[in-house]
């Protein structure tokens, strides 16, 4: 299938890049109110799945049992980038859960953000698993398996009880039968799943409209996840990143994933948006999401303005001089 163009980059009025994509917006009645591209093609959530992967932890007593703060708990949904506040919170969380860092299956990493990475390199500090972008999610997995008395070994395998529970809740949230969910392995080594774009949007709709969830315990867990994410937006990504900008708006629940996937839902408007940039780039996210919010006449202009401060339509060179522009096609 030929996918529609959602953005083009021009340098000196000459086409440089073309970005195809898929966008779906659903309302509280689960109706598609806007679509671009193939709604039936399945795409992997990548890290946009983290709020869904955290559901078993939030339905357990892990948070209360280990006296976790909301900031520590936010790491379960985070794609943290190694800032000092991330590292300190990760260390505190690991200590409270009393798990061994070597049991995390994610690879050893330097901080992702440039400043803390340079500080690590200059100080001759080694990479560590606790600094992996997904370490918080893995700590949540280990805390859950420990609290449930499940074996830690193999927690990254699809047949592990934890991973099967995640698939069950993904099916509930996305309304895709378990047998139709496509599974793969994420960059951090654990299972990640793919569903059609409309169903991806439906799964996030329930974070904004939790009354769509019949199971009270599941509904309460989903509400709690959203509250934690909004309370600690910089933990979810870091300052000056799309997720953090959106989550500072208490009306929005949002999380991005690798390779161009982004999901967000609006509580007052009771709508959800899922998108995939097929080039895999994240660079156009701020501009694309800002244009979508404008299209639906979103009233919080500050949120739109903050997104455009991350990336405007102007393309600039290393010296800050405007040399081109990005155009969005909705």
Please write the tens of the pLDDT for every residue from 32-55. 999 999 999 999 999 999 999 999
Residues 6+ apart with CB under 8 A from 126: 108
Is 275:23 a contact under the CB 8 Å cutoff? Answer: yes
Structure tokens at 110: 């330097």
Mean pLDDT computed over every residue of the chain = 97
pLDDT of residue 195: 98
Please write the tens of the pLDDT for every residue from 72-90. 999 999 999 999 999 999 9
Name the CATH topology of 5-61+157-328.
Answer: Beta-lactamase (3.40.710)
Burial class (CB in 10 A: 0-12, 13-18, 19+), 104: buried
262, β-bridge pairs: 256, 275
Please write the tens of the pLDDT for every residue from 79-119. 999 999 999 999 999 999 999 999 999 999 999 999 999 99
Tell whether the model's pLDDT for residue 1 goes beyond 80.
Answer: no
Closest to 80 (Cα-Cα) out of 129, 118, 32, 119? 129
Closest to 138 (Cα-Cα) out of 206, 187, 203, 83? 187
Q: For residue 261, what is the enclosing H or E element? A: strand 261-266
Structure tokens at 277: 């940039």
Tell whether the model's pLDDT for residue 152 goes beyond 90.
Answer: no
Please write the tens of the pLDDT for every residue from 196-244. 999 999 999 999 999 999 999 999 999 999 999 999 999 999 999 999 9
Q: Give 136's pLDDT tier (boundaries 50, 70, 90).
A: very high
Burial class (CB in 10 A: 0-12, 13-18, 19+), 43: buried
Is 160:111 a contact under the CB 8 Å cutoff? Answer: no
Structure tokens at 247: 């989550």
What's the CA gap between 114 and 24, in Å, rounded? 33
pLDDT of residue 245: 97
- Look at residue 154 and give its three-state secondary structure: coil
Q: What stretches of the chain show up as alpha helix (H) in DSSP?
A: 50-53, 55-58, 62-65, 70-74, 84-97, 114-122, 135-147, 161-174, 197-208, 216-231, 233-236, 242-247, 285-295, 301-310
Residues 6+ apart with CB under 8 A from 124: none
**Domain ranges for the chain:** 5-61+157-328
Tell whether the model's pLDDT for residue 2 goes beyond 80.
Answer: no
Please write the tens of the pLDDT for every residue from 181-195. 999 999 999 999 999
Whether the predicted model's global pTM rises above the 0.85 cut: yes
Pairing verdict, β 14-27 and 32-36:
antiparallel
Arithmetic mean of pLDDT, 12-33? 97
Residue 88 to residues 71, 94, 102, 131, 168: CA-CA distances in angstroms? 11, 10, 18, 10, 33
């Amino acid at each position: 299938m030929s996918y529609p163009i959602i953005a083009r980059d021009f340098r000196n009025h000459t086409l440089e890049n073309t970005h195809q994509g898929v966008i779906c917006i659903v309302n509280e009645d689960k109706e598609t109110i806007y679509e671009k591209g193939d709604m039936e093609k399945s795409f992997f959530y990548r890290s946009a799945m983290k709020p869904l992967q955290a559901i078993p932890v939030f339905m357990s007593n892990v948070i209360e049992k280990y006296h976790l703060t909301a900031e520590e708990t936010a790491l379960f949904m985070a794609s943290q980038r190694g800032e000092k506040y991330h590292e300190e919170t990760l260390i505190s969380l690991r200590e409270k859960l009393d798990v061994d860092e070597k049991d995390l299956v994610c690879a050893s990493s330097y901080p992702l953000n440039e400043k803390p990475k340079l500080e690590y390199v200059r100080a001759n500090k080694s990479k560590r698993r606790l600094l992996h972008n997904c370490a918080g999610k893995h700590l949540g997995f280990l805390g859950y398996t420990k609290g449930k008395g499940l074996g830690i070994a193999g927690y990254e395998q699809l047949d592990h009880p934890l991973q099967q529970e995640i698939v069950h809740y993904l099916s509930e949230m996305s309304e895709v039968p378990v047998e139709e969910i496509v599974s793969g392995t994420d960059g951090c080594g654990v299972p990640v799943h793919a569903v059609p774009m409309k169903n991806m949007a439906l799964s996030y709709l329930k974070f904004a409209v939790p009354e769509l969830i019949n199971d009270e315990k599941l509904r309460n867990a989903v509400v709690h996840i959203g509250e934690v994410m909004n309370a600690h937006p910089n933990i979810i990504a870091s300052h000056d990143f799309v997720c953090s900008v959106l989550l500072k708006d208490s009306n929005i629940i949002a999380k991005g994933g690798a390779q161009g996937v982004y999901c967000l839902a609006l509580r007052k408007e009771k709508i959800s948006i899922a998108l995939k940039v097929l080039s895999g780039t994240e660079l156009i996210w701020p501009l694309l999401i800002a244009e979508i919010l404008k299209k639906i006449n979103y009233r919080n202009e500050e949120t739109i303005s903050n997104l455009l401060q991350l990336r405007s339509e102007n393309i600039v060179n290393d010296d800050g001089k405007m040399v081109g522009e990005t155009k969005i096609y909705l």
